[in-house]
Structure 1
Amino acid sequence: MARKAKNAEKKSVAVIGLGRFGEAVALRLVALGHEVIGIDGNADIVQKLADDLPHVVQADSTEAEALRALGVNEVDYAVVAIGASLEGSVLSVLALQELGVKDIWAKASTPQHGLILTRLGVTKVVYPEADMGHALAEQLCGV
């Protein structure tokens, strides 16, 4: 059974891009009791997650109006978990900013991708593979 964070306020989060990383983020947020809308352009991915995510839709995350129609302009946080498409990642961030979403976390696949996201004003840039590799190395060495 998943633990809920003590004294944690329920948040609403849009997770854009439901590959391995985005799926893991979205499922964990749901397990922690947060309201999540999962968005992906791939119908097969959306269908696969339909039983696990209460709100999962196929949409073009690069279009602000499509995101507005889904209520993404009302979320507390957005996670852009698109790593394979630099263009999709950047345009999704721009669409979220156009909607006024203030707290945007984004996955970067390369240092250059991360630099672009940083310059766009993303709240937090994450490098899942590198971050997990560092954490594992530190665990192995007792750091």
Structure 2
Amino acid sequence: MAKRAKSAEKKNVAVIGLGRFGEAVALRLVELGHEVIGIDENAEIVQKLADDLPHVVQADSTDSEALRVLGVNEVDYAVVAIGASLEGSVLSVLALQELGIKDIWAKASTRQHGLILTRLGVSKVVFPEADMGHALAEQLCGA
């Protein structure tokens, strides 16, 4: 198991969508000592991560009542890591907002997706491929 980093304050984070990006975020947060609830609608993904994430469940993230039952209304942050389904991403953000979650970070797969998320008021929109591509280019050129 990876060594846990010391953190000034332990956070409670919901990671919704456990594809490559969501899985990486969730696992790193756990390594850093934070409490994470991972949520995905795909039972195979949930089963695959059951040994690595202390709290991982199969659920419909667009259903605010289902999220409330899971305790998502108590998290400090939420990460919506759904990129393949624009509808799933947007409806998950709305469900989180219904629960009163103020700090929502969301993955966007296109510029238009990012614009919608921004207009919904998410705290931070991330474009994983583009962001990593820019960072790599800067590292290569010493910027």
TM range (shorter): over 0.9
Shift of 1:2: 3.3
Match of 1:94 in 2: 94
Following superposition of structure 1 onto structure 2, how do residues 44-83 of structure 1 map, counting pairs within 5 Å? Answer: 44-83=44-83
What TM-score results when the alignment is normalised by the length of structure 1?
0.97
Following superposition of structure 1 onto structure 2, how do residues 98-109 of structure 1 map, counting pairs within 5 Å? Answer: 98-109=98-109
AA of the residue aligned to 2:53: L
The answer for unaligned runs of 5 or more in structure 1 is none
Following superposition of structure 1 onto structure 2, how do residues 1-143 of structure 1 map, counting pairs within 5 Å? Answer: 1-6=2-7, 8-143=8-143
Give a deviation string over 1:57-114, Cα, whole Å, max 9, x none.
Answer: 0000000000000000000000000000000000000000000001000000000000
CA distance in 2 between partners of 1:107 and 1:101 (Å): 16
The answer for unaligned runs of 5 or more in structure 2 is none
CA distance in 2 between partners of 1:112 and 1:3 (Å): 37
Retained in 1: the 8 A contact 2:38–2:56? yes
RMSD: 0.8
Deviation above 2 Å: which 4+ runs of structure 1? none
AA of the residue aligned to 2:37: I
| Sequence identity percentage | 88
CA distance in 2 between partners of 1:52 and 1:141 (Å): 36
Specify the SS of the correspondent of 2:22: helix
